[in-house]
Amino acid sequence: MTSPLLEQLVEAFRVLPGVGQKSAQRMAYHVLERERAGGRRLADALAAAVEKIGHCARCRDFSEDEVCATCASAARDVHQLCVVETPADRLAIEQATGYRGLYYVLQGRLSPLDGIGPGELGLDRLGARLGEGEVSEMIIATNPTVEGEATAHYLGQLARQHGVRPSRLAHGVPLGGELEYVDRGTLSHAFGTRSEMT
C-alpha cells in the first residue's frame, strides 16, 4: 500500500470480529472513497464508547450512567429479575419478548478452569440484591451449555437461599424447525417433557 496511515487503518480494523485482511482492506477503502463523514462519526462514536461506557451499578449491563435507564425506570416490574450471561443475551430477550421485569447481566458464566468464580460474576452483589426482598422470581436465562447449566444450578441455589423462586427458560424443538434437523439432545428432552394437548 502507498500509505502508512492506510496500513495502520487496515491493521486496526482487524480487531473487529470476523474481519480478516481482505475485509479490513475493503472497509478502509470504502471509508476513504465513499464514507469519510461516516468514518469520522465511527471514530468519534468508538472513542466515546470505549472511554465512557462502563457497567450499570444495578444490573452490570453496559451503561455510561451510574444506573442504566432500565434499572432506573419506574415502569419495570421490580419483582422479576432475569439473569443472563451477556448484554447481547439481554438485548435478544428484550427484543423478542414482552418481559417488563429487570435484568442482571453476569458478563460471563462460571468457569473454574478459566478462573471465573462467583466473585467474578458479581454473584455476591446478586445475593445481596435478592436479600433486599423485592425480587420474588428469578428467571435464569443462561445458555444451555455445560457451563451455562452449572451457572444456572448455582443461581437456583442462591435464589432458594433467599426465598426467591427460580425459573428456567423452556427447552425444546425451535418453532419453524424441522424435527429431522433438531439435535438428539434437544429432541430427547422435548420428547421427555411433552405436554398434554388442550
Nearer to a copy of itself, 5 or 146 (CB): 5
Nearer to a copy of itself, 46 or 133 (CB): 46
Nearer to a copy of itself, 45 or 128 (CB): 45
Nearer to a copy of itself, 55 or 189 (CB): 55
Q: Which residues contact 26 (CB under 8 A, 6 or more apart)?
A: none
Shortest distance (Å) from residue 68 CB to a copy of itself: 4
Q: How far is CA 16 from CA 8, 13, 27, 37, in A?
A: 14, 6, 11, 20
Task: Give the binding site for a copy of itself (CB under 8 A).
Answer: 1-6, 8-9, 11-13, 15-18, 23, 25-33, 35-36, 38-50, 52-53, 56, 59, 61-64, 68-70, 86-88, 91, 107
Q: How far apart are CA 88 and CA 127, in angstroms?
A: 23
Angle 153-186-91 (CA atoms, 0-180°, nearest 5)? 65
Shortest distance (Å) from residue 165 CB to a copy of itself: 26
Q: Which residues pair with 140 in a beta bridge?
A: 83, 168
- Which is it for strands 137-140 and 77-84: parallel, antiparallel or unpaired? parallel
Asked if 111 and 100 count as a contact pair (C-beta separation under 8 A), the reply is no
Shortest distance (Å) from residue 143 CB to a copy of itself: 15
Shortest distance (Å) from residue 188 CB to a copy of itself: 31
Shortest distance (Å) from residue 192 CB to a copy of itself: 33
Nearer to a copy of itself, 46 or 128 (CB): 46
User: Which DSSP string corresponds to 26-62?
Assistant: HHHHHHHHH-HHHHHHHHHHHHHHHHH-EE-TTT-SE
